[in-house]
Structure 1
Amino acid sequence: MTPANGSFQWRIAVVLLPFAAGFYLSYLFRTINAVIADQLARELGLGSAQLGLLTSAYFLTMAAAQLPVGVLLDRHGPRSVQSACLVVAAAGAAVFAMSSGLFGLMLGRALIGLGVGTALMSGVKAIALWFPRERQATMNGWLLMLGALGAVTATAPAQALADSIGWRNLLGLLSAVTVVLAVMMALIVPEPQALGRRQPHGPATLQRIMLDPRFLRLAPLSALCIGTAWSMQSLWAAAWLARVDGLPRAAVVQHLLVMALALAVGGLLLGWSADRLRRAGHPVEVLFGGIALLSIACQLALVVGIDLPSYLIWSVVGAVGSATVLSYAILAGYFPKEISGQANGALNLLHVGAAFGLQAATGFIIDLWPPEATGPPVVAYRVAFGATAGLELAALVWFIVSAPLTRPTTYLAGRSVQNRPILAPSQTTAYARAQLVFARRVAAARGQARNWRVAALGSAAVCAVVAVKVVTGVMTNPAVPHVIEVDAPARRKSQLLFTVP
């Protein structure tokens, strides 16, 4: 029995769960450096820039693998590709565990990124092959939620193991688990027949994908928002909480745990919401833009110093890391599933490339300030995080203003008319021509309504931030009245002045 002719539960057992296990290891490897960073710094004498460069090596090789892996997934299938890549990840974890210098650590980290960096793309490709389109966003949400449990494991449980057996033995244990999973995936997961024999591949296909106006509109915002969330969760969130907020190690680990839980729950909720919006005939782009705006507002609140619950802010930042569910759901409406591996790979290349660049750049910006006795100065973190938020805000503006340049998906009687061929007037009836004109006008109206909704949300967010700042300023700086006698030639008068201490 194969997933193609098996029950829905059978598909979940032999397709979703094995790839979710691989993505679980991907998230565990990605975020574990936030837990063992202190031990690495003490044992090997690594600074902020070196830690940022070391952690970002994962994203560098992961980014380099996305385009070739997308082609391989379309041609050879997700089982063969992912099981082979997991062996590479196991070798990288072993190298990392045995290294005693920065070069060996970076080599091991790079091999880990090359191996498990394909987990998300393999899972999304498998879901596109074996699940109906109307269930794919929800299945992607389940994939992301189950995989994000790896980020949950890379908090308190990983901290306890690292403290008891050491970070080297912990990485060795993960290497053995990765080998076992690779063998199980090669034996359990089925492969579709005649995969990729007549599917388009090569630079020409990738060029058409990456130059598509709809891809160019989505890619900058998706890459920067998701890359920022990954960068913070894997390293810089812990550094901010410890240095800027002054939290003890136990509280930092608790915050990372809450971020991981928000990531897991967010993937499931966003996938379910995307499917609901699509069935109702609404574009998923609106939800994605709103999530990006919320993330930028939370980051600006951190930079400005607005007194909001830290668990709330970091939960939002962590949950945005699961917005890949929305990005892939949007791409599924742009490109056929025969080239879905290449389309998703091109977008994921930008995700991990942005995460690598932002993670390394944050470390270099922080090191521009001379360190204090207790570590880098607080202003260095604020400048670095503010620069990242500014880039995301610029990408959001582009996402909004470029909407009229792309043709939004228009649903007519349950069918998409976006890519219907436009016939010559002599080939169409008056009714067909009127139908196309009506569809275009509905698309334009929905695009304008979407833009106004995003503008309204942005205005409301700005007003809320300003109101919170004013209220907190008034509460922390109360006005004190003073009565001052003023002499005048004809009469004496009093003035009541208010000063703010």
Structure 2
Amino acid sequence: MHTSARLRVFTLFSVGYVLSYLYRGLNLGLAPYLSSTFRFSTAELGTITSVYFLGFAGAQIPAGMMLDRFGPRRVESALLAVAAVGALMFAMANGFGMMLVGRLLIGVGVSVCLAAAFKALSEQFPLTQLPLLNGMVSAIGGLGGVFVGAPLTSLLEVVSWRSLFFSLAALTVLTALTIWFAVPDKGKVRTDHAVVPKINDSWSIFRSRAFWRLAAFPAATQGVLYAIQSLWVGPYLRDVTRLDAAASGKIVSILSLSLMAGCATLGALARVLSKRAVSIRSLCNACMCIFVLVQLLILSEVHIANYVIWAVYGFFGGSGILCYTVFAERAPSALIGRLNTAMTLLIFSTTFLLQIAIGWILNFWPTHGGQYPAIAHKVVWVGLISFQVLSAIAFIRPVRQSFSEEAVPLG
């Protein structure tokens, strides 16, 4: 394939993943505006934000099958159109219900952006180039997380949140159309119709004890990271750390940048250590434990500069993603696709439930001037840390039974 065609594939699918990351965290900056416009409680705000993750998680298995059958060009273009409809509904919403549906459609619409990018790259580039290219797409996508910090705070001072969503809807449509017309096809559309057996095979992963041993701790840490990063870090910095909106926005951007750096650095480190007979699972375990320790330091309000402690939080926050490589180490190749889908579903379902739970818990305390008492946030963080510690117990224990030894279909 010509270099220009490969460049189009890489660039356009990277843009799609930036949109996915951007939509995920937008409500962090929008929260004060939505609360003042609609008088939403924290529980309602948490529900609106978290339903994105519900749509994202629920679409994983069917979207994955569509990718295999129709290819990344068709599937991502079609689903981005769904996201654009959701963005339009969000922009025009006059209440809780319409906003909830819009946010749900956005989650469904961008659910395949990363998986489609990885599949498109695997179809167009040599196998030896994929680790670097996949890492670059992940890092570029992280720019969406950077935008929802200080840049979004500044932008919302000059444009309304409704105008922002109208613009995003237009950009999403433009991206969908460009992918549809500019990305070359590779391979034929599959015509098999064995959908129900494939869904049953995917769900059977969740009956595997080996899967839960490996997935519990990473799902907990990633769920906590995404729940905090996409909404609740802002209220925490405002109510506990007493930072204004501008300072909080800078911390959010630092967190996102350090998350990008951590994913790239830990991925490279895993490759080096694996050549020296150090298991990736051990590295994943150590980094996730550090992530929990950093949360304890934040909760304890140690005398460390905010930008430093939150940078470390972001750097180690993405370490749970190494579990996908752990699966590749330990499972038969016939199971890898379903394991990855199941893990993504588990992470985003956990995020969805945690975001709702956080808003529900905070709502037990009365607000003063739109702010919650520091003790409310501390109770939430104690609960989140306890949840991760309990899940770590299963992860740290050795896995004696392999996936192939369990009743998990391999066909």
* TM-score > 0.5, shorter chain as reference: yes
State the shift of 1:15 in Å.
Answer: 3.4
What corresponds to 1:342 in structure 2? Answer: 338
The one of 189, 193, 197 aligned to 2:187: 193
- Matched position secondary structure for 1:308: coil
- Matched position secondary structure for 1:313: helix
AA matched with 2:60: Q
- Matched position secondary structure for 1:391: helix
Q: What 5-or-longer segments of structure 2 have no aligned partner?
A: 406-411
TM-score normalised according to structure 2 size: 0.90
CA distance in 1, matches of 2:273, 2:117: 23
State the shift of 1:211 in Å.
Answer: 3.7
CA distance in 1, matches of 2:315, 2:256: 8
1:165 aligned to 2:159? yes
CA distance in 2, matches of 1:366, 1:295: 23
Q: 1:404 to 1:109 in 2, by over 3 A?
A: closer
The one of 386, 389, 400 aligned to 1:405: 400
The one of 250, 255, 262 aligned to 2:258: 262
The one of 132, 136, 147 aligned to 1:142: 136
State the shift of 1:130 in Å.
Answer: 4.8
Contact 1:121–1:344, Cα closer than 8 Å, also in 2: no
CA distance in 1, matches of 2:121, 2:394: 31
- Matched position secondary structure for 2:371: coil
State the shift of 1:290 in Å.
Answer: 1.6
1:15 aligned to 2:9? yes
The one of 63, 79, 82 aligned to 1:85: 79
Q: 1:132 to 1:405 in 2, by over 3 A?
A: farther
The one of 352, 355, 366 aligned to 2:351: 355
AA matched with 1:108: G
Contact 1:243–1:375, Cα closer than 8 Å, also in 2: yes
State the shift of 1:14 in Å.
Answer: 3.6
What corresponds to 2:36 in structure 1? Answer: 42
What corresponds to 1:240 in structure 2? Answer: 236
CA distance in 2, matches of 1:126, 1:172: 29
State the shift of 1:10 in Å.
Answer: 6.0
State the shift of 1:157 in Å.
Answer: 2.2
State the shift of 1:215 in Å.
Answer: 2.3
> Which segment is superposed worse, 389-398 or 307-316?
307-316
Contact 1:36–1:167, Cα closer than 8 Å, also in 2: yes
CA distance in 2, matches of 1:356, 1:54: 10
Contact 2:218–2:321, Cα closer than 8 Å, also in 1: no
CA distance in 2, matches of 1:79, 1:205: 25
1:386 aligned to 2:392? no
What corresponds to 2:93 in structure 1? Answer: 99
State the shift of 1:212 in Å.
Answer: 4.1
State the shift of 1:104 in Å.
Answer: 1.3
Contact 2:210–2:399, Cα closer than 8 Å, also in 1: no
What corresponds to 2:408 in structure 1? Answer: none
The one of 54, 59, 62 aligned to 1:68: 62
- CA-to-aligned-CA distance 1:22-51 (integer Å, 9 cap, x gap): 110011111111111111111111121111
State the shift of 1:388 in Å.
Answer: 0.8
Matching of residues 366-445 of structure 1 within 5 Å: 366-373=362-369, 375-401=371-397, 403-406=398-401
- CA-to-aligned-CA distance 1:57-113 (integer Å, 9 cap, x gap): 111111111121122222222222111110000111111001121111111111111
CA distance in 1, matches of 2:339, 2:67: 11
> Which segment is superposed worse, 117-126 or 314-323?
314-323
CA distance in 1, matches of 2:29, 2:62: 31
AA matched with 2:185: E
CA distance in 1, matches of 2:67, 2:248: 38
CA distance in 2, matches of 1:81, 1:390: 39
Matching of residues 285-364 of structure 1 within 5 Å: 285-323=281-319, 325-334=321-330, 340-364=336-360
What corresponds to 2:23 in structure 1? Answer: 29
**RMSD value, Cα:** 2.6
CA distance in 1, matches of 2:76, 2:219: 23
> Which segment is superposed worse, 196-205 or 133-142?
196-205
State the shift of 1:136 in Å.
Answer: 4.1
CA distance in 2, matches of 1:14, 1:319: 30
Contact 2:149–2:248, Cα closer than 8 Å, also in 1: no
What corresponds to 2:104 in structure 1? Answer: 110
1:215 aligned to 2:211? yes
State the shift of 1:310 in Å.
Answer: 2.0
CA distance in 2, matches of 1:188, 1:328: 31
1:179 aligned to 2:173? yes
TM-score normalised according to structure 1 size: 0.74
> Which segment is superposed worse, 377-386 or 324-333?
324-333
Q: 1:293 to 1:137 in 2, by over 3 A?
A: farther
AA matched with 1:355: T
CA distance in 2, matches of 1:132, 1:335: 24
Contact 2:61–2:199, Cα closer than 8 Å, also in 1: no
AA matched with 2:108: L
Q: Which has the higher helix share?
A: 2
AA matched with 2:76: Q
State the shift of 1:284 in Å.
Answer: 1.5
Q: 1:135 to 1:218 in 2, by over 3 A?
A: farther
State the shift of 1:347 in Å.
Answer: 0.8
What corresponds to 1:283 in structure 2? Answer: 279
State the shift of 1:373 in Å.
Answer: 4.5
Contact 1:285–1:330, Cα closer than 8 Å, also in 2: yes
Contact 1:229–1:320, Cα closer than 8 Å, also in 2: no
CA distance in 1, matches of 2:308, 2:127: 33
Compare CA radii of gyration and give the structure with the larger one.
1
AA matched with 1:171: F
